[in-house]
A and B are shown apart, each in its own frame.
Chain A
């Protein structure tokens, strides 16, 4: 068995917007909306909030589109914006002044009706307890399959920091799951 019979041209690691100048956010939206909502969901836990976060990220990108000089960086820009939006949501939820906005139980909680296996829930719950940077790096690597460079771009840290964060995060995750047994 080998990888799919797509030619090299079909497997570029480069960012998807190539010919558009100025940045074509409509195309970006059409292509990446679902994927970004899924990314936000694994960060914040419920779909309604995830959709809000992605909507805000696109609105922000739209407002700042003239500052996106490299069309190839547009996706990284929106991805970073989604990540920031998720951080804000999680911050709001954990502060004493959190807004009295109800949200669905996160997909990893026992209350959720999501069809997720028990082992998966344990892993997700353990992931949730990791420090933010480790959690984000692990999600970008093991959900989106991003390279070190792409994660560095999205998180605004160096590539060596990405590698060490992922190594530490995996170790911490393993320990947390062991302790949970």
Chain B
């Protein structure tokens, strides 16, 4: 349990640390891979690369539950094997990167996102609901509404044979908040501004990913998860393009064209070689529509102060809408 003393101390340290403006840092002489003790004028472009925002208050971030379904009715995006095409994923992703790179960089006060999740229960039922979030990373102000348009999908509901098992349906709930929201990735805690400052070139982003991937973790799995993250967050068009190019370099990807996401929107799916991760993007290849997890169930677990969010086979997260707005309540 967090005591008042701990809370005060955490806030005091975060506030003191926040006095360091990333843009005010002196360009420093960076160590080089080899050579003399103090390298000669090897300046790093820190502005974009130093994305390690460590000022911390609360790490809890409102956002999407990942979801899933066991129902045929809500899995129109799962194609039959006959429709799978096992080539050209790379070309498709590179074309998506080109499209992403050409998009205009948007700005606004609040980052808005609406996400619909399909979350399976042990009973076989699937809890489906949407969540809306507005968040201003500069002031910490935001609003989250959960439990929107909730429904319970019964096992085998496509045939109407399912029986209710009593899983409660989420109710809409809105909360305004004022807190620093940070995303933990690879031991770093990233603010909204840090996310916007992620490297915007392939080499820089690749270094960043290498530095944040845990020991023993599969590169492809991490790249998939990060692609989902980068495409669903307020990153720059250049960062999104770089991320798609890095994903395109992963071996063994499968591309499926002419599918729909769980909301029926047309698109294409890119699946990891092991079949566990599936990203659905629109036909331009630049916009993320949904993500599905088809690997084995994993329970939530705590490791030190980190929470490892679990996953269930068949989970789906659908990105309904996102973008910048000027005030809470507006939608892009």
B205-219 contacts to A (CB < 8 Å): 207-208, 210-217
Give Cα A120–Cα B308 distance, bound, in whole angstroms. Answer: 31
CB-contact partner of B19 in A35, A107, A174, under 8 A: A107
In this complex, what residue of A is CB-closest to B17? A38
* Residues in chain A near residue B44, CB distance under 8 A: 26, 29-30, 33
Asked whether B210 lies within 8 Å of A20 as measured between CB atoms, the reply is yes
Asked whether A8 lies within 8 Å of B308 as measured between CB atoms, the reply is yes
* Residues in chain B near residue A173, CB distance under 8 A: 5, 9
A2-61 contacts to B (CB < 8 Å): 2-20, 22, 24-35, 37-39, 41-42, 47, 50-51, 54-55, 58-59, 61
The reply on A117 being an interface residue by CB < 8 A is: yes
Asked whether B214 lies within 8 Å of A12 as measured between CB atoms, the reply is yes
The reply on A138 being an interface residue by CB < 8 A is: yes
* Residues in chain B near residue A164, CB distance under 8 A: none
* Residues in chain B near residue A4, CB distance under 8 A: 60-63, 181, 183-184, 309
Give Cα A25–Cα B308 distance, bound, in whole angstroms. Answer: 28
The reply on A108 being an interface residue by CB < 8 A is: yes
Number of interface residues of B (CB under 8 A): 88
The reply on A100 being an interface residue by CB < 8 A is: no
Number of interface residues of A (CB under 8 A): 78
* Residues in chain B near residue A8, CB distance under 8 A: 298, 301, 308-311
Whole-angstrom distance from the CB of B39 to the nearest CB of chain A?
Answer: 8
Bits for B240-258, please: 1 = Cβ < 8 Å to A, else 0.
0000000000000000000
Give Cα A116–Cα B20 distance, bound, in whole angstroms. Answer: 12
Whole-angstrom distance from the CB of A154 to the nearest CB of chain B?
Answer: 13
Asked whether B217 lies within 8 Å of A26 as measured between CB atoms, the reply is no
Question: With A13-B303, A114-B19, A143-B13 given, is the CB distance from A31 to B208 under 8 Å?
Answer: yes
Whole-angstrom distance from the CB of B312 to the nearest CB of chain A?
Answer: 12
Give Cα A26–Cα B210 distance, bound, in whole angstroms. Answer: 12
Asked whether A13 lies within 8 Å of B31 as measured between CB atoms, the reply is no
Asked whether B49 lies within 8 Å of A31 as measured between CB atoms, the reply is yes
The reply on A163 being an interface residue by CB < 8 A is: no
Whole-angstrom distance from the CB of B43 to the nearest CB of chain A?
Answer: 11
Whole-angstrom distance from the CB of B53 to the nearest CB of chain A?
Answer: 7
CB-contact partner of A13 in B183, B207, B306, B309, under 8 A: B306
* Residues in chain A near residue B18, CB distance under 8 A: 38
CB-contact partner of B308 in A2, A11, A39, A146, under 8 A: A11
Give Cα A26–Cα B8 distance, bound, in whole angstroms. Answer: 35
The reply on A97 being an interface residue by CB < 8 A is: no
Asked whether B211 lies within 8 Å of A17 as measured between CB atoms, the reply is yes
CB-contact partner of A10 in B53, B225, B317, under 8 A: B225
The reply on B156 being an interface residue by CB < 8 A is: no
Whole-angstrom distance from the CB of A52 to the nearest CB of chain B?
Answer: 9
* Residues in chain B near residue A110, CB distance under 8 A: none
Question: With A13-B304, A16-B188 given, is the CB distance from A138 to B146 under 8 Å?
Answer: no
The reply on B6 being an interface residue by CB < 8 A is: yes
Residues of A within 8 A of B (CB): 1-20, 22, 24-35, 37-39, 41-42, 47, 50-51, 54-55, 58-59, 61-63, 65, 72, 75, 107-108, 114-117, 119-121, 123-124, 127, 138-139, 142-150, 170, 173-174, 177
Given A9-B217, A142-B10, 14 further pairs, Cβ under 8 A: A4-B60, A5-B317, A9-B213, A9-B214, A12-B187, A13-B306, A14-B187, A16-B186, A16-B188, A18-B215, A41-B16, A120-B16, A123-B12, A142-B6
